[in-house]
Amino acid sequence: MRNGLTAFASAVALCAGTLSSTSTGAQDYPTKPVRLVVGFSAGGPTDVIARILAQDLSASFGQSVVVENKTGANSIIATEAVARSAADGYTLLVASLSHNVNVLLMQKKVQYEPLKDFAPISLAAVLPLLVVTRPETAANSVPELLQIAKAKPGEVSYGSAGNGASAHLAAALLETLSGAKMTHVPFRGNAPALVEVMAGRVSFMFYPMIGIADHVSAKRLKVLAAGTGKRHPDYPTVPTMAEAGFPGFEETAPWVGLLAPAGTPAQIVNRLSEAIRKALAKPETKERLRVLGATTVGSSPAEFVEFLRQDADRWARVIKAAGVTAE
């Protein structure tokens, strides 16, 4: 009996020690650099927001928070890599709408589940889409662009960050609603796609509003329409897609949020979420993102989980309506 009690006491002590160690580790987090993995190229909207957050989090944590670009397959490579990473809070995914869309379009190819394999941390920002083209383009509105596309089926092209990316889904939906036949040109990120639009090798694209203002003021781009519910204060003369005859495009606005691998301790997830929300609440951070065209959000892990569920339902409807496929 005494031996049994001794063994039980030892087991309890071992469990208590393990729990104490885990709790201490979470309280001390982070004790080494944190990686924010971005599945798109440097300079794109997701990357820009990640770098702003990394700077704020580095100051808050007193540890380096670095951005790592792991491009390819519309962020699938990065997403699967983070899903396989240690659940210790030191490797995080900066996700976008592709997180849900990839699974909807390529269920047999994608080796992750959007919620089961991740611990959502916080929704960071939402990025309204603008229809942009080079200033020399003959079209000065979406209806004029569609007239050209209908007159020469397939000659008008649109860029995107890859199959299933926000720009692809929005333009494919426009094709479906208008009856115009256009050519999709996918890239490994929004930034290289935009370069080709400015060069005139791609006709236009739906681009997240972040970072566009400088190109517009320098006359490297012109904006044909905004995918917002009402006219955006930064582009008061630009009509909305609804004014152009296509309501509902505000639902195509991409988002950016942070996720950790499933199994990451709740204390660490909550600490990260609180730090992100504090960073996004700073007037200087809000202003930096506003100037770039992003709308800051900041949410609790539970709120982000619910957002992801609703987001999956929303994109399932859009994909069905537009007839979008992975190829």
Give the per-residue pLDDT at 41.
86
Contact 216, 128 (CB under 8 A): no
Which tens digits make up the pLDDT trace of 64-87?
A: 999 999 998 889 999 999 999 999
The pLDDT score that the predictor gives to residue 325 is 81
Cβ(257)–Cβ(122) below 8 Å: yes
Q: Which residues contact 263 (CB under 8 A, 6 or more apart)?
A: 87, 119
Give the separation between CA 188 and CA 21, rounded to whole angstroms.
Answer: 42
Taking only the tens place, the pLDDT of each residue in 85-112 is 999 999 999 999 999 999 999 988 899 9
Choose one of 224, 252, 280: the last residue of a domain.
Answer: 252
Distance CA 93, CA 73 (A): 15
Indicate the residue among 212, 230, 252 that finishes a domain: 252
Which pLDDT value is given to residue 2? 47
In a domain, 259, yes or no: yes
The answer to whether position 37 is within a domain reads yes
Please check whether residues 185 and 243 belong to one and the same domain: yes
How far apart, in whole angstroms, are the C-alpha atoms of residue 121 and residue 281? Answer: 16
Considering its fold, how many domains does the chain have in total?
2
Closest Cα partner for 252 from 174, 145, 191, 161?
174
**Predicted pLDDT at 45:** 86
Partners of residue 126 on adjacent β-strands: 255, 295
116 and 264 assigned to the same domain: yes
Given a cut of 50, the residues of the chain with pLDDT beneath it are: 1-2, 8-9, 12, 20-24
| CATH number of 152's domain | 3.40.190.10
| 237 within a domain of the structure (yes/no) | yes
Decide if 242 contacts 102 (C-beta within 8 A). Answer: no
Within 63-117, where are the H helices?
76-83, 98-105
Domain identity same for 145 and 242:
yes
Give the number of other Cβ atoms within 10 Å of residue 71's Cβ: 21
Query: Domain range spanning residue 154?
Result: 129-252
C-alpha 152/C-alpha 307 separation (Å) is: 40
Burial class (CB in 10 A: 0-12, 13-18, 19+), 279: buried
Omega before residue 192 within 30° of 0, cis:
no
- So what's the pLDDT on residue 8? 47
Q: Report if residue 15 sits inside a domain.
A: no
How far apart CA 139 and CA 215 sit, in angstroms, is 18
Residue 16 lies in a domain: no
To the nearest 10 degrees (0 to 180), the angle between helices 142-151 and 166-178 is 70
CB 164 within 8 A of CB 291: no
pLDDT of residue 14: 52
Q: Please check whether residue 121 is in contact with residue 257, taking contact to mean a CB–CB distance below 8 angstroms.
A: yes
- Identity of the residue numbered 81: A
Q: Are 179 and 134 a contacting pair, CB within 8 Å?
A: no
Contacts of 319 (CB under 8 A, 6+ apart): 101, 104, 105, 169
The pLDDT assigned to 118 comes to 98
Q: Does a structural domain hold residue 63?
A: yes
What are the CA-CA distances from residue 129 to residues 170, 206, 308 (Å)?
9, 6, 19
- Ranges of beta strands (E only) in 60-212 are 65-69, 91-96, 118-126, 129-133, 157-160, 183-186, 204-208
Structural domain contains residue 287: yes
Ramachandran angles phi, psi of 248, nearest 5°: 95, 0
